[in-house]
Amino acid sequence: MKKIITLTVLLLVAGNLLACDICGCGVGSYYLGILPDFKKRFIGLRYQHKGLTTHISADGSVSYLTSQEIYQTAEVWGAFNIGKRFRIMGFVPVNFNERLNQGKTTSKSGMGDIAVLGYFKLLDRQKTIGDKRFAQSLWVGGGIKLPVGTYDPTDANIAQNTQNTFQLGTGSVDFTVNAMYDVRLQDAGINTNVSYKINTANKYDYRYGNKLTGNVLAYYKFNIKNKLTIAPNAGIMYETAQKDLNARKHFVDESGGYSMMGILGVECNIKNIAFGGNYQSPLAQTLAGNRVKAKDRFMVHVSFSF
Give residue-wise pLDDT tens across range 135-180: 999 999 999 999 999 999 988 764 445 678 889 999 999 999 999 9
- Contact between 134 and 128 under an 8 Å Cβ cutoff? The reply is yes
Give the least confident one: 76-85, 132-141, 156-165, 288-297.
156-165
pLDDT digits (tens, 9 = 90+) for 17-60: 333 344 444 444 466 778 888 889 999 999 999 999 887 665 55
Question: What share of the chain in percent tops pLDDT 70?
Answer: 85
DSSP code of residue 168? S
Contacts of 275 (CB under 8 A, 6+ apart): 267, 268, 300, 301, 302, 303
Q: Is 244 helix (H, G, I), strand (E, B) or coil?
A: coil
- Banded pLDDT at 7 (limits 50, 70, 90): very low
How wide is the angle at C-alpha 67 spanned by C-alphas 172 and 241, nearest 5°? 40
Q: What is the pLDDT of residue 254?
A: 82
Identify the three-state secondary structure at position 205. Answer: coil
User: Domain span at residue 81?
Assistant: 2-305
The answer to whether the CB of 172 falls within 8 A of the CB of 199 is yes
Q: Is the pLDDT of residue 265 over 50?
A: yes
CA atoms of 188 and 203, how far apart (whole Å): 48
pLDDT of 6 reads 39
d(C-alpha 207, C-alpha 209), whole Å: 6
CATH number at residue 192: 2.40.128.130
Alpha-carbon distance 136 to 115, whole Å?
27
Query: DSSP of 24-92, one letter per residue?
Result: -STT------SPPP-SSEEEEEEEEEEEEEE---TTS---TT-EEEEEEEEEEEEEEEETTTEEEEEEE
Of the listed ranges 80-94, 259-273, 283-297, the one predicted with least confidence: 283-297
Cα separations in angstroms, 286 against 104, 172, 290, 291? 27, 26, 5, 8
Question: What pLDDT score was predicted for residue 93?
Answer: 94
pLDDT band at 9 (very low <50, low <70, confident <90, very high): very low
- The pLDDT, as a whole number, for residue 67 is 87
Q: What are phi and psi of 16, to 5 degrees?
A: -90, -15
Question: How many domains, the chain?
Answer: 1
